Structure 1
Amino acid sequence: MWVKICGITDPATARGVVELGASAIGLNFYAPSPRSVTAEAAREICREVESEIDVVGLFVNHSLEAVSEIVMSCGLTTVQLHGNETPEYVARLAETAPLDIIRVYRVGASGLDEARSDLQQCRQLGIRLRACLVDARVEGAFGGTGACAPWNLLRDEWLQDEWPPLVLAGGLHPENVAEAVRTVRPWGVDVASGVESAPGIKSLEHVRRFVENARSSS
């Protein structure tokens, strides 16, 4: 079970997450978020953990130039596109560097039609995605809302054999992640606000329980 702790903002927390056995950390470059980091802060975090853990850069409608600059500056090899980026944007980004790309879909009661169409376009453009992260659809928000994605819909309709690996996000926390994993059977899980003691402040005790509970049901 791939377990990502997103919204890390300082080297000490990154070090703690590494020691607790998470698979990846996420660095959020979306300035309006309470979990956002500057490129300078991200470089310090990357130096702290080096190659001990996957470091994923999270971007929301950034320009290609901005993403490329941060990727090169921090030495990132994985990016998570959390905005309204088009498949053409993804294809152009993939041409700039040998990156692993995680595509984000915000899913609600309307189902997976948008994701299905987008993935078809990605295939037509020859894009190979590392994974797809599914978060809850909340109007006006790009994530980090604490709302749950539709677990039963994902269990029934995500095409495990045809689509990229599924990373479940949205409303997860230590108390419900085991049930989420048993229900959806995702490849991975992602959490930000669900392991915080305050907005943007991670509780390592919450992280420990989240990692343990996620893996106990995988």
Structure 2
Amino acid sequence: MTRVKICGVTDDKDRDAVVAAGADAVGVIHGVPVDTPREVDEATAEMLVDGVPPFVTSVLVTMPTTVQEAVRRVDGIDPDAIQVHDGLSPAELGALDSRLTQKIVAVVEADAPDIEAYADHADALLVDSVDADGGGGTGETHDWERTRDLVGSLDVPVVLAGGLTPENVAEAVETVKPFAVDVASGVESSGGRKDHDAVERFVRNATRAPEGAV
């Protein structure tokens, strides 16, 4: 079954609603240089991560410029995994991996020339539509066929993100067959605030069995 991560949670009510909806992972954004209503300060990030229950993965989503910066953020917030957007080279991801016990998710574009190098140093790749600053959460879809090719050619799990909504996620899963899907703006009532009904529908549609499946 395809796993689901709901990203950009900013308060405990939304976090708890995401967990109740059956999501496998909760994404908390901290330490990004881009302007986003989904970023929280370190204290809030720590509180949100601390409240994620066992068997649900807490993910720190961040854009460090150095390995040391990433380590400091992980040490302060203590998530189960770290999702790295931009800033670090594949070799730096390898250095980060040697200093952390947490899993590392590297964010890449589907047509990135060094995607295999990132795959060599990450526990999973998240394929997203990124903006000029390297940040995700653009709400724009990308070439699902290209991402499906990556699923077949890479040895690491591939997470599909970018422009997903409750209305299109079932088609995306059927087309790409990713390890997981990731959504932020596609389940919001306003910037940084989750629509709990949309979250429930997204999880349900992402994880439903294809027609005819037993």
Please report the TM-score for the alignment, with normalisation by the length of structure 1: 0.87
Q: In 2, are the aligned partners of 1:18 and 1:52 still within 8 Å (CA)?
A: no
Q: In 1, are the aligned partners of 2:24 and 2:56 still within 8 Å (CA)?
A: yes
2:84 is aligned with 1:81: yes
Percent of paired sites with the same residue = 34
Which whole-Å CA distance do the structure 2 matches of 1:159 and 1:48 have between them?
32
2:198 is aligned with 1:206: yes
Aligned residues: 207
Which whole-Å CA distance do the structure 1 matches of 2:89 and 2:4 have between them?
26
Q: Structure 1 residues 61 and 78, CA, compared in 2 at 3 Å: closer, same or farther?
A: same
SS of 1:144's equivalent? coil
SS of 2:109's equivalent? strand
Alignment-derived partner of residue 5 in structure 1: 6
Which whole-Å CA distance do the structure 1 matches of 2:193 and 2:164 have between them?
16
Alignment-derived partner of residue 139 in structure 1: 132
2:57 is aligned with 1:54: yes
Q: Structure 1 residues 94 and 182, CA, compared in 2 at 3 Å: closer, same or farther?
A: same
Q: In 2, are the aligned partners of 1:137 and 1:149 still within 8 Å (CA)?
A: no
Alignment-derived partner of residue 28 in structure 1: 29
Which whole-Å CA distance do the structure 2 matches of 1:48 and 1:159 have between them?
32
Cα offset for 1:84? 3.3
Alignment-derived partner of residue 123 in structure 2: 130
Which range moved further: 98-107 or 205-214? 98-107
Which whole-Å CA distance do the structure 2 matches of 1:103 and 1:211 have between them?
23
Q: In 2, are the aligned partners of 1:71 and 1:77 still within 8 Å (CA)?
A: no
Which whole-Å CA distance do the structure 1 matches of 2:14 and 2:55 have between them?
14
Which whole-Å CA distance do the structure 2 matches of 1:13 and 1:88 have between them?
36
* 1:172-210 superposed Cα distances (whole Å, 9 cap, x missing partner): 000000000011111100000000011111111110000
Cα offset for 1:7? 0.3
Give ranges in structure 1 of 5+ residues lacking alignment.
none
Cα offset for 1:78? 0.6
Alignment-derived partner of residue 179 in structure 1: 171
Of 37, 41, 45, which aligns to 1:38? Answer: 41
2:153 is aligned with 1:152: no
2:186 is aligned with 1:194: yes
* 1:128-166 superposed Cα distances (whole Å, 9 cap, x missing partner): x221100124434511111102111222x2153543111
Alignment-derived partner of residue 215 in structure 1: 207
Which whole-Å CA distance do the structure 1 matches of 2:137 and 2:165 have between them?
12
SS of 1:213's equivalent? helix
Which whole-Å CA distance do the structure 1 matches of 2:72 and 2:64 have between them?
15
SS of 1:96's equivalent? coil
Q: In 1, are the aligned partners of 2:64 and 2:87 still within 8 Å (CA)?
A: yes
